[in-house]
Amino acid sequence: MTHHLFVTQGNSDIPRWREAFPLARDCRPAMARAQAGKDDHVWVMSNVDDWGVLVNNLSRRGAIVAVLSYTPDSEEALQALACGARGYAHALSSPESLRQIQLVISNQGIWVLPELMAKVVGSTFRALGGESRVHEDTLAALTARERAVALSVAAGNSNKRVARELDITERTVKAHLGAVFRKLQVRDRMQLILMLSRQPVTEDLERDD
Amino acid sequence: MTHHLFVTQGNSDIPRWREAFPLARDCRPAMARAQAGKDDHVWVMSNVDDWGVLVNNLSRRGAIVAVLSYTPDSEEALQALACGARGYAHALSSPESLRQIQLVISNQGIWVLPELMAKVVGSTFRALGGESRVHEDTLAALTARERAVALSVAAGNSNKRVARELDITERTVKAHLGAVFRKLQVRDRMQLILMLSRQPVTEDLERDD
DNA sequence: ACTCACCCTGTCCTTCGGTCCAATACCCCG
DNA sequence: CGGGGTATTGGACCGAAGGACAGGGTGAGT
């Protein structure tokens, strides 16, 4: 059968893992390295020494690895994924979350904190030179004129300036801009800028008050 | 209840989707755009026009989107993810695979072809030297409060929202913001965003009329 | 002809953003 | 202690932004 291991550095207590997976065993890095094999599930704390190397080894041997961190950040998440981990989450995730994660990654899925997702994918996309392919897509939904207005606005120009630039009335600029907002589902020029200059945007939309 | 849609371009036959999800309906992009909402599951073929935009819209509205392609490649996969899709697979995946994918992505997971995963994440990590350290320089000139305001504004928030966030008056936000504008030599919040979300800025700034 | 999509413009009105001119309070430093 | 920097807020003012409502013009299809 497959093993199920928690790898911790020292005598740190194992938060709610025990609760999530009663059958699992906790161990030290060396032990994991020795025991884990194909299809085993291994959870590695990001505070163990050389966790990257460990994760790499394990996943290379066919183990299904998830990394848990007390201080999750996108950079570490990327590193974890790059080392072959299939999951990355907060170490204090609830037992339910942990089981959900296990479900996902044991089915060939990837699991990262939702808020990190955007960042990870974003930087990945940029890193691959795919650069502004997205924009072309989002902008593709616009008419030629709307696109021109959107781009100018996204460059930080005021409506008046855009008007002069395109040699139309400020009123017309507003009209086009309104259409852009509708089509791209943003509330104002700020979010337009963010959308076109990319990523963050956390969880805007809806509710301003 | 939640919808379950297959979005195809034209009269292409729906491979084995029917078999995997008997209850699902297939439709055109426009229909999907109109019907799909929060928590709906939508499968989009990568040969429909502007699938990127469509996926963007849908996922932004809370739908769970997966992209299927007859010719999967890492670039397209990344694009799909960047647009908010949670899954990317071959259009001719077996019904079992499709169900597995659905399981994964409906549990907050990400699903991409395993061999693409390595490529994508691998190259990323290397290419990800230093990301966004630029800001710390520019932001260093600000007081703690000003910095907080600046960052929130740069995230696309309105003055009112920032006020609530920091639990101060909108008036005070304006005061801090004014200071930020002076110190960073920008005229308004748009240029602030541009300054904080990219690096170049080369631009003129000057002259609006 | 007629519809449809796009482009352009107008007025009216509300809210938001930014600046000027204040004032109060805190804290650190000389 | 007095002076400078910071944080906070008030009021007033004005221009920018964006929505609501209403048009007029073109060209491509049907």
What confidence category does residue B203 fall into, taking pLDDT thresholds of 50, 70 and 90? very low
CA of B173 to C1' of D4 (A): 22
| Minimum-distance CB partner of B110 among A110, A189, A208 | A110
Task: Please state the three-class secondary structure of B12-24 as a single string.
Answer: CCCCCHHHHCCCC
- Chain B residues with CB-CB distance to A208 below 8 A: 158, 160-161
pLDDT in tens, chain A (209 residues): 677 888 887 656 665 677 778 777 777 777 776 666 667 888 888 877 777 777 877 877 778 888 888 877 777 777 787 777 888 888 877 777 788 788 777 777 778 776 666 666 655 555 444 444 455 566 777 888 998 999 999 988 999 999 998 999 999 999 999 999 998 889 899 989 888 875 333 333 334 44
Q: Is the pLDDT of residue B202 over 50?
A: no
CB atoms within 10 A of CB B159: 19
In the Cβ-directed half-sphere of A122, how many Cα atoms lie within 13 Å? Answer: 20
Q: Give the list of residues 6+ apart from residue B59 with CB closer than 8 angstroms, or none.
A: B65, B83, B84, B85, B86
Residues B108 and B124 in one domain: no
Q: Is A202 part of any domain?
A: no
What confidence category does residue B168 fall into, taking pLDDT thresholds of 50, 70 and 90? very high
pLDDT at B128: 44
Global confidence as pTM: 0.51
pLDDT at A10: 64
Map tokens 């630039």 to a residue. A165
pLDDT at B37: 66
CATH number at residue A130: 1.10.10.10
Tell me what the pLDDT averaged over chain B comes to.
75
Nucleotide nearest to A168 (CA to C1'): C8
Residues A106 and A190 in one domain: no
Q: Is A51 part of any domain?
A: yes
Per-window interface: B 48-87 vs A, CB < 8 A: 50, 52-53, 56-57, 60-61, 74-75, 78-79, 81-83
Locate A97 and state its tokens: 């979350």
| SS3 category, A106 | coil
C10: residue with closest CA to C1': A171
Determine contact, residues B48/B71, Cβ cutoff 8 Å: no
Choose among A145, A152, A186: nearest CA to B208.
A152
Residues B48 and B141 in one domain: no
Residues B71 and B135 in one domain: no
pLDDT at B87: 85
Question: Which residue has better confidence, A179 or B144?
Answer: A179
pLDDT at B137: 60
C6: residue with closest CA to C1': A143
Task: Please state the three-class secondary structure of B106-175 as a single string.
Answer: CCCCEEECHHHHHHHHHHHHHHCCCCCCHHHHHHCCCCHHHHHHHHHHHCCCCHHHHHHHHCCCHHHHHH
Share of chain B above pLDDT 90, in %: 10
Residues A98 and A35 in one domain: yes
What confidence category does residue B198 fall into, taking pLDDT thresholds of 50, 70 and 90? low
pLDDT at B117: 67
pLDDT at A173: 94
- Render A8-32 in DSSP notation, one character per residue: -SSS---TTHHHH-TT-EEE-HHHH
For strand C, the positions having any atom within 7 A of a protein Cβ are: 5-11, 16-20, 22
Strand ordering across the sheet containing A25-27: A25-27, A4-7, A41-45, A64-69, A87-90, A111-112
**How many helices and strands, by DSSP H and E, does chain A display?**
11, 6
Domain-terminating residue out of A112, A135, A165:
A112
Residues B179 and B155 in one domain: yes
Question: Which residue has better confidence, A51 or B41?
Answer: B41
Sign of the alpha-carbon dihedral angle for A140, B65, A190, A72 = negative
Residues B101 and B13 in one domain: yes
pLDDT at B13: 60
Determine contact, residues B112/B93, Cβ cutoff 8 Å: no
Alpha helices in A10-143 (DSSP H): 17-20, 29-35, 51-60, 74-82, 95-105, 114-127, 133-140
Task: Say whether B82 and A134 touch across the interface (CB within 8 A).
Answer: yes
Residues A65 and A125 in one domain: no
Residues B31 and B87 in one domain: yes
Q: Is the pLDDT of residue B1 over 50?
A: yes
Residues B77 and B147 in one domain: no
Residues A98 and A125 in one domain: no
Share of chain B above pLDDT 70, in %: 73
pLDDT at A13: 60
How many distinct structural domains can be found in chain A?
2
DSSP secondary-structure letter at A110? B
Q: Is B201 part of any domain?
A: no
Sign of the alpha-carbon dihedral angle for A155, A115, A135, A80 = positive
Task: Say whether B197 and A197 touch across the interface (CB within 8 A).
Answer: yes
Residues B21 and B100 in one domain: yes
Question: B151: domain range?
Answer: 118-196
Of the listed ranges A63-77, A191-205, B128-142, B188-202, the least confidently predicted one is: B128-142
Domain-terminating residue out of A79, A112, A145:
A112
CB atoms within 10 A of CB A157: 19
CB atoms within 10 A of CB A198: 19
CA distance A8 to B156: 40
Q: Is B158 part of any domain?
A: yes
CATH number at residue A59: 3.40.50.2300
